[in-house]
């Protein structure tokens, strides 16, 4: 039985988020420049996106460029931005052929105008697609996102548009760039690093974490299947006890 066949389609993670790491090391191992790793990373992006859509996963978020990545050498940043534009140019048809819509989260005001225009254009062109949503995290970091939410909530509170007592989980979630997108249930990080790196900190409160030793350009559909299978073998208790999962009538201590 293949790995793909072992996956239970009824128990898929609704949202998978991936920290694509290891492009630079992959290139270095081959005696090449870092951008060579990023270019080959695009193949893994295509493979993973296709595998997720074929499985029936509804949301896939890829951490493509973090707020901290702005501190990289200028030539690597501009090569990454050009790669993003060229990939969107070549892959828009593939997105539509596979009924995938593109979304973006992050501080898009910081990315170069030409890149922002391409991202917006692809989002608009694919908006009618109803299969999977592919979310690119661009110029994204959780601390930026959370501070941004706090500022907007404060402004609205000062303008008497909401009261302090209105602030709860549900309201806070609406002020994040992921508003309307369900929380990830599975987070994958490649390259053997065990970090979250400022990624979706609020949203992954109860996500299952999966770490792969593969460097991102080597990541394949089979690797995604392995991660999904691992997810399906975990017991997700959300703070409850095992017995409550099989017998929901066991009295809960708190409503929330
Ligand atoms: C991390 O590897 C990877 C990135 C910062 C960029 C990811 C970009 C791509 C895969 C290509 C473009 C993406 C899309 C969606 C078109 P790293 O450079 O930090 O690797 P290292 O830790 O080995 O140095």
How many beta carbons lie within 10 A of that of residue 246, not counting itself?
A: 7
List pocket residues of ligand 1, CB cut-off 6 Å. 20-25, 38, 41-42, 45, 62, 64, 69, 83-84, 87, 136, 191, 216
State in Å, rounded, how far the first CA of the chain is from the last one.
41
What pTM did the predictor assign? 0.94
Out of 41, 77, 82, mutate this one to test ligand 1's pocket (max ligand atoms within 8 Å of CB): namely 41
Please indicate whether residue 69 is annotated as part of the active site: yes
CA 103 to chain centre: 10
- Pinpoint the alpha helices (H) of 31-73: 34-55
Candidate list 69, 148, 156, 198, residue with the active-site label: 69
Beta strands in the chain (DSSP E): 15-19, 59-66, 101-105, 133-140, 186-189, 208-211
CA distances from 80 to 33, 35, 39, 195 (A): 13, 7, 9, 22
CA separation for the pair 26, 41 (Å, rounded): 9
With CA atoms as reference, report the closest residue to 190 among 10, 13, 44, 21: 21
The architecture of the domain spanning 11-141+183-235 is: 3-Layer(aba) Sandwich (3.40)
With CA atoms as reference, report the closest residue to 185 among 208, 210, 211, 212: 208
What pLDDT, on the 0 to 100 scale, is given for residue 240? 83
pLDDT digits (tens, 9 = 90+) for 199-251: 999 999 999 999 999 999 999 999 999 999 999 999 878 888 888 888 877 77
pLDDT digits (tens, 9 = 90+) for 62-119: 999 999 999 999 999 999 999 999 999 999 999 999 999 999 999 999 999 999 999 9
pLDDT digits (tens, 9 = 90+) for 118-141: 999 999 999 999 999 999 999 999
């Amino acid at each position: 039985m293949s790995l793909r066949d072992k996956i239970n389609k009824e128990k898929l993670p609704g949202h998978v988020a991936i920290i694509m790491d290891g492009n630079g090391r992959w290139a270095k191992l081959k005696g090449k420049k870092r951008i060579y790793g990023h270019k080959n990373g695009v193949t893994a992006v295509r493979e993973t996106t296709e595998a997720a859509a074929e499985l029936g996963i509804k949301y896939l978020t890829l951490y493509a460029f973090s707020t901290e990545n702005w501190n990289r050498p200028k030539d690597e940043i501009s090569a990454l931005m050009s790669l993003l534009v060229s990939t969107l140019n070549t892959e828009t048809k593939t997105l539509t052929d596979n009924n995938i819509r593109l979304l973006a989260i992050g501080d898009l005001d910081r990315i170069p105008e030409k890149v922002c225009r391409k991202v917006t254009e692809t989002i608009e062109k694919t908006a009618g697609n109803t299969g999977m949503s592919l979310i690119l995290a661009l110029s994204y970091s959780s601390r930026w996102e959370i501070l941004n939410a706090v500022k907007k909530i404060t402004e609205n509170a000062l303008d008497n548009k909401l009261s302090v007592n209105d602030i709860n989980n549900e309201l806070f979630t609406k002020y994040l760039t992921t508003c309307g997108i369900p929380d990830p249930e599975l987070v994958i990080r490649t390259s053997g690093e065990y970090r979250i790196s400022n990624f979706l900190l609020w949203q992954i409160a109860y996500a299952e974490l999966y770490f792969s030793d593969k460097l991102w350009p080597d990541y394949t559909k089979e690797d995604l299947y392995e991660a999904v299978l691992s997810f399906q073998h975990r017991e997700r208790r959300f703070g409850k006890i095992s017995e409550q999962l099989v017998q929901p009538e066991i009295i809960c201590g708190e409503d929330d």
